[in-house]
């Protein structure tokens, strides 16, 4: 399965290990952008540890690529901390990728974690609405890269956060259910309105939830990651053997 995905069936592309996934997916990502007819490619990236390898691959293999001139980089979610905070998703991407690639500063649309959350939701949402093309009457990212937590969360949409699952907004404020950490996240509606959504999932900690989602069970469909089903776009799952170990 490529990033183009395979509608209707849950068939993750399985890679031997995280490094293989990052290398192969990085090649697919840059090939997708290179062959895209869109003059500007709006890419939304997630935080967490899984993308770290991908960021390093992109910086190492494609750091000097002219493709970065066409890529506008957005964040799927952000922790409401300053960019220099170790928790910052932007800060991590900056260390591993942005500072090591020829990405024009004007192409970076970070969420201002240092700002007031309510005000930043409005600012970031308005920016998305003003810059993206629309599909189904709603802003549409060209590609959204997601991870999945051990609990089945994705972006900063955690199990049971019905408001974020049902929201008609572009983005919203969220809170981590354990730490209470304030976050801003794209809503499920925005994620499901993307042209393409790709999950990158690694580690044995994800295996149970992946299997739950793969089974098509009711509980699987109630997990935020299990609710990602693009309206008209493509969905693909990319996992290492550990994360896919319980998918039959």
Shortest CB 150 distance to ligand 6PG, Å: 7
Q: Which is nearer to ligand 6PG, 33 or 145 (CB)?
A: 145
Q: Which is nearer to ligand 6PG, 72 or 93 (CB)?
A: 93
For residue 1, the tally of other CB atoms under 10 A from its CB is: 17
Shortest CB 203 distance to ligand 6PG, Å: 6
Q: How far apart are CA 149 and CA 80, in angstroms?
A: 19
Q: Which is nearer to ligand 6PG, 117 or 148 (CB)?
A: 148
Give the residue among 199, 193, 210 at the shortest CA–CA distance from 235.
Answer: 199
Q: How far apart are CA 44 and CA 31, in angstroms?
A: 17
Residues in a beta bridge with 184: 78, 173
Shortest CB 139 distance to ligand 6PG, Å: 19
Shortest CB 198 distance to ligand 6PG, Å: 12
- 143-146 and 108-109 strand pairing: unpaired
Shortest CB 48 distance to ligand 6PG, Å: 3
- 77-79 and 182-186 strand pairing: antiparallel
Residues forming the site for ligand 6PG (CB under 6 A): 46-50, 76-77, 89, 147-149, 153-156
Q: Which is nearer to ligand 6PG, 22 or 67 (CB)?
A: 22
Shortest CB 66 distance to ligand 6PG, Å: 28
Q: How far apart are CA 113 and CA 156, in angstroms?
A: 14
Contact criterion met (CB below 8 Å) for 185 and 238: no
Contact criterion met (CB below 8 Å) for 175 and 181: yes
Q: Which is nearer to ligand 6PG, 14 or 67 (CB)?
A: 14
Give the total residue count for the chain. 248
Q: Which is nearer to ligand 6PG, 20 or 65 (CB)?
A: 20
């Amino acid at each position: 399965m490529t990033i183009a995905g395979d509608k209707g069936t849950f068939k993750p592309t399985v890679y031997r290990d995280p490094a293989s996934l990052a290398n192969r997916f990085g090649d697919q990502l840059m090939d997708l952008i290179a062959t895209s007819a869109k003059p500007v490619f709006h890419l939304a990236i997630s935080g967490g540890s899984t993308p770290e390898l991908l960021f390093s691959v992109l910086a190492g293999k494609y750091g000097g690529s002219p493709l970065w001139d066409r890529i506008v980089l957005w964040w799927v979610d952000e922790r409401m901390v300053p960019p220099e905070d170790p928790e910052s998703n932007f800060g991590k991407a900056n260390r591993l990728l942005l500072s090591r690639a020829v990405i024009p500063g004007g192409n970076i649309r970070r969420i201002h974690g240092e700002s007031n959350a309510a005000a930043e939701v409005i600012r970031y949402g308005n920016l998305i609405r003003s810059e993206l093309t629309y599909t189904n009457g709603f802003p549409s990212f060209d590609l959204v890269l997601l991870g999945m937590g051990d609990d089945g969360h994705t972006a900063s949409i955690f199990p049971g956060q019905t408001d974020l699952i049902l929201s008609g907004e572009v983005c919203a404020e969220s809170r981590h259910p354990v730490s209470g950490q304030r976050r801003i996240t794209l809503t499920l509606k925005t994620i499901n309105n993307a042209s393409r959504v790709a999950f990158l999932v690694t580690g044995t900690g994800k295996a149970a939830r992946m299997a739950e989602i793969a089974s098509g069970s009711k509980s699987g469909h109630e997990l935020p990651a299990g609710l990602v089903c693009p309206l008209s776009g493509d969905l693909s799952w990319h996992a290492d053997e550990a994360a896919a170990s319980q998918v039959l």
